[in-house]
Amino acid sequence: MKTLFLDCFSGISGDMTVGALVDLGVKPSTLEWELSKLDLGDFHMHFAREQRQQIEGVKFGIHEGATHTHAQDEPAHEHQHCCGHDHDHDHGPAHHEHAEPDHSHAHEHAHDHDHGIEVHEHEHHHHAHGRSHGQIRALIEASELSPFVKKHALGIFQRIAVAEGKIHGMPSADVTFHEVGALDSIADIVCACVGLEALGVEKVFVSSLHEGRGTIECAHGTFPLPAPATLEILVGIPLSQIDEPHELITPTGAAIVAEFGASFGPMPRMKSEKIGYGVGTRHLDSRPNVLRAVLGELVAE
């Protein structure tokens, strides 16, 4: 059975998940093609090879604007030039996702994409950053994405909407996503699902989850970590905190692992075939800010 183990020793976000899947062999052109099936406005993707504490992996980014340009399927090293923009990204790979309706979401990390390579750009109609849960559902349901991608992308957004709705005392259908409704967050979620399908993954296992300590700033003031939506999404899933003064698990990352994770704990007995690393934004003191993904075959006990 084709198995993926997500080692979240340094947290997880949407963009880290996508980067790890590309490092495992998912072609950027595949992600570009599939994402173009959604009416998201003009966009261009970036995939760069970067290091965190001498561990190299793939850094994923996406921005609005520009006209379509096809790029190679091999991420370049960070010294190569690419369009530089700042953009908020989540971190994570397999089961939940998050969006706080009226929050500024300071916990969605700002990512610096000064260097990259793949510049995939598409022309579509422009959309505002804020989208309701219903709008996102309609966008995905009306697309030509595969049944697998539709099912799990919708599942991830549903998890986020339910969490947000509970936090703000409203039906999940009435939740409006801001950061999670923006291009980069939609891309993280859809591309994570596309990547898992492209690799033929049948089962996903996830390591124990560790969040940092400290606080985040959001529209309602200062909040302790984990962020409210992240914590709500991970109800029922083991979670602990480590002595790292940063947010390590974003709502998107939480939603991805909640959606796909068959279990949470040690790596299962499996024959590894390939290891990929998705690079995050943080430069941490205690550990490299990367998500490790191990692809292989499950081995019977």
**In sequence order, what E strands does the chain have?**
2-7, 43-52, 55-64, 76-77, 86-89, 95-96, 109-112, 120-122, 131-132, 176-177, 203-206, 209-211, 215-218, 221-224, 239-241, 261-264, 270-279, 290-298
12-33 pLDDT per residue, tens: 999 999 999 999 999 999 999 9
Predicted TM-score of the model (pTM): 0.81
Any idea which of 95-104, 156-165, 240-249 has the lowest mean pLDDT?
Answer: 95-104
Ordered DSSP codes for 156-215 = HHHHHHHHHHHHHTS-GGG-EESTTTSHHHHHHHHHHHHHHHHTT--EEEE--EEE--SE
120: left (phi over 0), alpha (psi -120 to 50) or beta: beta
What does the CA dihedral 239, 242, 244, 249 come to, rounded to 10 degrees?
Answer: -10
The larger pLDDT score, comparing residue 172 to residue 86, is at 172
Residue 234 pLDDT > 70, yes or no? yes
**Among 55, 56, 57, 66, which Cα is nearest to 20's?**
57
Neighbour-count burial for 81-97, b at 16+ CB within 10 Å, e otherwise: ebbebebbbbbbbbbbb
- Whole-angstrom distance, CA of residue 20 vs CA of residue 59: 8
Residue 219 pLDDT > 80, yes or no? no
Packed helices 28-35 and 14-23: angle between N→C axes, nearest 10 degrees: 130
Average pLDDT in the 225-243 region?
Answer: 96
Residue 208 pLDDT > 80, yes or no? yes
Six token digits for residue 92: 């994570």
Q: What is the DSSP letter of 250?
A: -
Any idea which of 176-190, 204-218, 254-268 has the lowest mean pLDDT?
Answer: 176-190
Domain that holds residue 248: 2-298
Query: What is the number of domains present in the chain?
Result: 1
Element (H, E) at 25: none
251-269 pLDDT per residue, tens: 999 999 999 999 999 999 9
